[in-house]
Chain A
Amino acid sequence: MAERISNREGIKGMANPTRYGWLRVAYWLQRLTGLGLLAYLIGHIYETSTILNGKTAWDNMLSITETPGGHIVLILVIGMCVFHTGNGIRVMISEGGRGLGRPGQPEYPYRASSLNSKQRLCIWVSIALAALAMMYGAGVLFGN
């Protein structure tokens, strides 16, 4: 019997946000920001735990994190946090069956009601809020 090729797209296909519109972009960003926040959480726990090793260890740690590079990481964390929250609320509401439009007779050319403008607006607002929060964070961290 011929060998079977599963032809599964795998992680590469799953993580490709380019082909299926804004909801797929939001799905990709949600995953990316989720992983980013998880990495930050682990790093943050490690950072703050150094205080247990005394003042010198803590000061050494601050000399690494309280730097322009550390501030840029924090600004990214602010953006990830805001987008993940905003978009997460949209997804939670939609996954309960709200904000998707109503089922009905599909009319040609078919436009899926669940990919409606309210969904797209929520995604754009989440991105805009994340950008604003990052700008504010940059002002506070790099301002005088």
Chain B
Amino acid sequence: MATVTVPKKESQNLPGNPKESQEQQKTVTLRIARINPGEDAKGKFEEFKIPVQKWTTVLEAILYVKQNLDHSVALRYSCRQASCGSCGMKINGKPRLACYTKISELESETITVEPMSNYPIIRDLAVNFEHLFSTHKKMKPFIINEESEIKPGAKEFIQTPQDLEKFLQFSYCIKCGLCNSACPTMATDASFIGPQGLAQAYRYTADNRDEGKKERLKIVDQSHGIWRCHFAGSCSNVCPKGVDPAMAIQLLRGYLLGFRK
């Protein structure tokens, strides 16, 4: 069997599989938003030609730019496997995780990456998550139950698989913030709790070990709270973990309207 040897330097430079030769590769144009709030609030787009393969992700393409063409591009990432929630950005107009979005699935010769909307920009593609994290904390994202303290003689809480299913999917939230970026209410109301926070309020309220329902419902039942959701479903459309925040919000509202106990 013939063996194709890829020169070492070249193979290291390619995003995706390093074993494929340059000739077999497609190139796309990557347009990266360059914004430095301290210097130029308007910002600009810079274009780079990138070699890509079928499995190259948007994150790999941006890292290719950083390694080979312009190391000053600012972005946040960590796990590269849709687990840490760091790499959210607007990719061809829609909030997505850069590490979870393949260039090939975008079916476009030009890929535009911008910072996520509805968050203050730190620089280039990195945004500030202060509001996301503070609203998450306000929802009391923990089990409220006096019996949950570990004391001598304490027993574990028994839950059936049915009890677990009521909140399991909502506990998969990785706090990537894509839902808040897609939400039309967040687009105009800076004080809105947002789909991420509201979904977490439901996650703990629906847990049968929890006794904090009253407290949480009081927190979300306010003018910039749950009533500002109009079920546009955009949060669930972009959520990369199948959390379905739109469903959580409507179920939470069911408690306030008296449809659920």
Q: Is the beta-carbon distance between B118 and A8 smaller than 8 angstroms?
A: yes
State in angstroms the CA–CA spacing of A8 and B194 once bound together.
13
Chain A residue nearest to B43 (CB atoms) is A5
Interface check A63, CB cutoff 8 A: no
Residues of B within 8 A of A96 (CB): 250, 253-254, 257, 259
State in angstroms the CA–CA spacing of A114 and B239 once bound together.
12
Majority SS at the chain B contact face: loop
Interface check B94, CB cutoff 8 A: yes
Contacting residue for A106 out of B166, B234, B241, CB 8 A: B241
Q: A8-B187, A19-B93 are in contact. Are A110 and B241 (CB under 8 A)?
A: yes
Q: A13-B117, A100-B251 are in contact. Are A27 and B236 (CB under 8 A)?
A: no
List residues of B (23-45) whose CB comes within 8 Å of A's CBs.
35-38, 41
Contacting residue for A110 out of B93, B118, B240, CB 8 A: B240
What is the minimal beta-carbon distance from A25 to any residue of chain B, in angstroms?
9
Q: Is the beta-carbon distance between A112 and B121 smaller than 8 angstroms?
A: no
Chain B residue nearest to A110 (CB atoms) is B242
Q: Is the beta-carbon distance between A103 and B247 smaller than 8 angstroms?
A: yes
Residues of B within 8 A of A24 (CB): 184, 232-234, 237
Chain B residue nearest to A4 (CB atoms) is B120
Interface check B176, CB cutoff 8 A: no
What is the minimal beta-carbon distance from A32 to any residue of chain B, in angstroms?
13
Q: A21-B233, A95-B231, A114-B233 are in contact. Are A7 and B121 (CB under 8 A)?
A: yes
Q: Is the beta-carbon distance between B94 and A114 smaller than 8 angstroms?
A: no
Interface check B147, CB cutoff 8 A: no
Query: What is the interface size of chain A, counting residues whose CB is below 8 A from a CB of the partner?
Result: 42
Interface check A60, CB cutoff 8 A: no
Q: A96-B250, A103-B168 are in contact. Are A114 and B127 (CB under 8 A)?
A: no
Interface check B64, CB cutoff 8 A: no
Majority SS at the chain A contact face: loop
List residues of A (95-144) whose CB comes within 8 Å of B's CBs.
95-98, 100-108, 110-115, 119
Interface check B244, CB cutoff 8 A: yes
Q: Is the beta-carbon distance between B187 and A112 smaller than 8 angstroms?
A: no
Interface check A6, CB cutoff 8 A: yes
Chain A residue nearest to B226 (CB atoms) is A95
Chain A residue nearest to B128 (CB atoms) is A4
State in angstroms the CA–CA spacing of A8 and B132 once bound together.
14
Q: Is the beta-carbon distance between B121 and A5 smaller than 8 angstroms?
A: yes
Residues of A within 8 A of B206 (CB): 103
What is the minimal beta-carbon distance from A14 to any residue of chain B, in angstroms?
4
What is the minimal beta-carbon distance from A107 to any residue of chain B, in angstroms?
8
What is the minimal beta-carbon distance from A83 to any residue of chain B, in angstroms?
15
Interface check B142, CB cutoff 8 A: no
Q: Is the beta-carbon distance between A105 and B168 smaller than 8 angstroms?
A: yes
Interface check A52, CB cutoff 8 A: no
Q: Is the beta-carbon distance between B260 and A112 smaller than 8 angstroms?
A: no
Q: Is the beta-carbon distance between A10 and B187 smaller than 8 angstroms?
A: yes
Interface check B172, CB cutoff 8 A: yes
What is the minimal beta-carbon distance from A28 to any residue of chain B, in angstroms?
8
Residues of B within 8 A of A3 (CB): 37-38, 41
Q: A20-B234, A106-B243 are in contact. Are A14 and B182 (CB under 8 A)?
A: no
List 10 A-B residue pairs with CB atoms under 8 Å apart, sorted by A's residue number.
A2-B122, A3-B38, A8-B190, A9-B186, A20-B237, A23-B237, A97-B251, A101-B247, A104-B169, A112-B237
